[in-house]
């Protein structure tokens, strides 16, 4: 059976020793009094919930899956899911970082980030039920009317009601301008929605008394394309003026998708037949509100793969220490046994360290993004808010795509450590691989994220935001450039920092002549940018570890961190050279292939 131990020590290292998040939070009035001890105490209890309550339901939930009653359109979640959700709500976990004005605890978003990493490690399918609610909450908090906020946010904050985002239709996924769902205005100011949505995660379930769907639809006079899309609140049960639940709305689950992974989450086909909805924001401006959800979801999906990378690594490490096979190439290590533990073999260590490096680098990036988001919403200085928003917009597609690509890679490598046992269900590894695969697809495929990064976030402003991140890299290089002990980390980072400017300019120039050049280079480009970001955080983590060791700290944690940093820069970071070469190969080798693809 799999195991999971919340990585609290590493979270504390990133938050308090590397990023010093409480220093940033002190500048935000809402969090000026928060301290490290409070954050640590909350996350320690959160880790217990993740490891003791929902982790034991992961394999059983995957085996059982969700069941749809075709007559009532009601969905039953796997055994134990509903009870675990009640424990979650009763413990106040749903309200962790929500606005106190709506019953939230008002804790920093970094606490919620770490809490959700642990829950994703423990049970990604279960975690998606409350997770999607945060995106719907954020959208309504930003664009909802006072009446809508009063009606919905208290219940969503408490977790009594959950939320979804309803975008995809059978004939359109990313190209939302093609959607056909209609919204007919009614005399009382509401709308009647008719249409079909697919792939709606947590779209129907028995864990909460109401589900608040945020639905994209078209008004009768809407202009064509994405500029004619509006956003609507469509609850499963209509809500009376006094806040009580009214009659069942005309929105229901018509079917459940049969999926490769995340079996414990109800991926629903949603049918609307005259469902009553209210508009969020302005007519034909629905993408503004939905982008709040989508950007939150993209960060959340990166966090899903971060969680899976961590739990896959923990299990592979435990197995590698226990499983004996063959002898070490340099002679027997376990002389009292007939063979050595497989952890003595170099390539087993490569697979383990790959997962460890991607998990710990991803954790640093995810926590950094959560602090940026906090600054965007709460910092009193307008320039800080703007700079943080720019940086977050650059890092969001990297967080989504780089972490999910790495997560699937890491889960597969950890499965490989188990050999044949990794292919067998009861060990849990094949589930981690299956669950990780969806993260590269939904909330915008990783190719879409790559096009967003290169086309909009980098070339769209002539590299201005990329240069802002480059200044962070440059400052670290200046600080440590003459430190010989940091050379193995700083030198490759400095070289890539210089190369990426020329690399970006070259692709941009080619793209002006032929837009397919951007499309051909985008995926490779995102991975190069991802390594630049990871390299920066790994260099900062190595910097802290070296200082602690030099100060006489004998905690083996710092030696381990340093060794992992060396592995990352020696074995993973050099991928950038190949990626830049393949990106420069251009679009002709892809597009001049009609005969090959006939």
- Taking 90 as the threshold, does the pLDDT of residue 175 lie above it? no
Q: 163 forms bridges with which residues in the sheet?
A: 212
pLDDT above 90: percentage of residues in the chain: 97
Q: Is the pLDDT of residue 366 over 90?
A: yes
Residue 566: name the closest of 364, 396, 413, 357 by CA.
Answer: 357
- Take residue 558 and report the two structure tokens written for it: 């710092």
pLDDT at 248: 98
Positive or negative CA dihedral for 362, 364, 367, 369? negative
Q: Mean pLDDT over residues 514-542, rounded?
A: 98
Name the pLDDT band for 161 (thresholds 50, 70, 90).
very high
Average pLDDT of span 278-291: 92
Between CA 408 and CA 512 the distance in angstroms is 34
Give dist(CA 473, CA 537) in Å, integer: 9
pLDDT of residue 292 exceeding 90, the answer is no
Of the candidates 250, 298, 254, the one whose C-alpha atom is nearest the C-alpha of residue 274 is 250
The upper half-sphere exposure of residue 470, i.e. CA atoms within 13 Å in the direction of its Cβ, equals: 15
Q: What is the pLDDT of residue 440?
A: 98
Element (H, E) at 115: helix 109-143
Distance CA 55, CA 513 (A): 52
Residues labelled catalytic: 443
Comparing C-alpha atoms, which of 179, 158, 157 is closest to residue 167?
179
Q: Pinpoint the alpha helices (H) of 267-381.
A: 286-322, 346-378
| In contact, 397 and 452? CB cutoff 8 Å | yes
Residue 272, H or E segment? strand 267-280
Query: Which pLDDT belongs to residue 22?
Result: 98
| pLDDT at residue 553 greater than cutoff 90 | yes
pLDDT digits (tens, 9 = 90+) for 20-48: 999 999 999 999 999 999 999 999 999 99
Residue 192 pLDDT exceeds 90: yes
Q: At 542, is the pLDDT very low, low, confident or very high (cuts 50, 70, 90)?
A: very high
Q: Does residue 1 register a pLDDT over 90?
A: no
Binning pLDDT at 50, 70 and 90, where does residue 293 land?
Answer: confident
| Average pLDDT of the segment spanning 536-550 | 98
The predicted-structure confidence for 227-271, as pLDDT tens digits, reads as follows 999 999 999 999 999 999 999 999 999 999 999 999 999 999 999
**Which tens digit of pLDDT belongs to each residue from 422-473?**
999 999 999 999 999 999 999 999 999 999 999 999 999 999 999 999 999 9
**Nearby residues of 144 by Cβ (< 8 Å), 6 or more positions away:** 152, 153, 233, 280
> Is 182 strand, coil or helix?
strand
CA distance 250 to 272: 6
């Amino acid at each position: 059976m799999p195991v999971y131990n919340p990585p609290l020590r590493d979270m504390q290292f990133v938050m308090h020793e590397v990023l010093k998040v409480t220093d940033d939070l002190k500048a935000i009035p809402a969090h000026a009094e928060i301290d490290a001890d409070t954050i640590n105490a909350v996350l320690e209890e959160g880790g217990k919930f993740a490891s003791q309550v929902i982790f034991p339901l992961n394999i059983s939930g995957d085996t059982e899956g969700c069941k749809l009653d075709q007559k009532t359109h009601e969905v039953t979640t796997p055994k134990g899911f509903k009870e675990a959700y009640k424990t979650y709500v009763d413990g106040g976990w749903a309200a962790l970082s929500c606005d106190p004005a709506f019953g939230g605890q008002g804790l920093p978003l970094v606490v919620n980030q770490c809490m959700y990493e642990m829950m994703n490690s423990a049970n990604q399918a279960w975690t998606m039920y409350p997770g999607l609610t945060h995106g719907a909450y954020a959208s309504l908090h930003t664009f909802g009317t006072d009446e809508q906020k009063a009606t919905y946010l208290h219940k969503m904050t408490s977790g009594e009601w959950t939320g979804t985002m309803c975008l995809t239709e059978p004939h359109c996924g990313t190209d939302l301008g093609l959607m056909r769902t209609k919204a007919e205005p009614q005399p009382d100011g509401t709308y009647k929605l008719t249409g079909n949505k697919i792939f709606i995660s947590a779209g129907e379930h028995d864990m909460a008394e109401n589900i608040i769907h945020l639905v994209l639809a078209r008004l009768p006079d809407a202009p064509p394309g994405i500029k004619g899309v509006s956003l609507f609140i469509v609850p499963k049960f209509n809500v009376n003026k006094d806040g009580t639940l009214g009659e069942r709305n005309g929105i229901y689950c018509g079917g459940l998708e049969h999926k490769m992974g995340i079996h414990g989450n109800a991926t629903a086909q949603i049918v609307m037949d005259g469902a009553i909805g209210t508009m969020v924001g302005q007519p034909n401006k629905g993408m503004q509100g939905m982008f709040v959800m989508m950007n939150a979801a993209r960060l959340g999906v990166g966090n899903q793969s971060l969680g899976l990378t961590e739990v896959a690594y923990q299990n592979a490490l435990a197995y590698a220490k226990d499983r004996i096979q063959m002898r070490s190439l340099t002679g027997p290590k376990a002389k009292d046994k007939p063979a050595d533990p497989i952890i003595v073999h170099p390539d087993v260590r490569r697979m383990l360290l790959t997962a460890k490096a991607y998990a710990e680098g991803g954790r640093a990036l995810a926590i950094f993004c959560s602090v940026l988001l906090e600054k965007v919403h709460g910092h009193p200085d307008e320039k800080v808010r703007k700079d943080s928003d720019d940086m977050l917009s650059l890092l969001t597609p990297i967080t989504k795509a780089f972490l999910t690509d790495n997560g699937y890679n890491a889960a597969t490598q950890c499965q490989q450590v188990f050999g044949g046992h990794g292919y067998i269900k009861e060990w849990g590894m094949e589930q981690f691989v299956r669950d990780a695969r969806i993260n590269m697809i939904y909330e915008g495929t990783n190719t879409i994220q790559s096009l967003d990064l290169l086309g909009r976030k980098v070339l769209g402003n002539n590299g201005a935001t990329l240069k802002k991140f480059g200044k962070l890299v440059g400052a670290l290089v200046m600080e440590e450039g003459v430190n010989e002990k940091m050379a193995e980390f700083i030198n490759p980072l400095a070289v890539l920092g210089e190369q990426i400017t020329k690399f970006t300019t070259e692709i941009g120039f080619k793209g002006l002549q032929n837009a397919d050049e951007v499309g051909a280079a985008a995926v490779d480009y995102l991975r190069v940018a991802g390594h630049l970001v990871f390299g920066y955080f790994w260099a900062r983590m190595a910097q802290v570890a070296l200082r602690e060791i030099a100060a006489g700290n004998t905690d083996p944690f710092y030696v381990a961190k340093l060794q992992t940093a060396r592995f990352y820069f020696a074995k993973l970071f050099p991928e950038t050279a190949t990626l830049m070469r393949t990106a420069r190969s251009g679009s002709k080798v892809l597009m001049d292939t009609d005969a090959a693809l006939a």
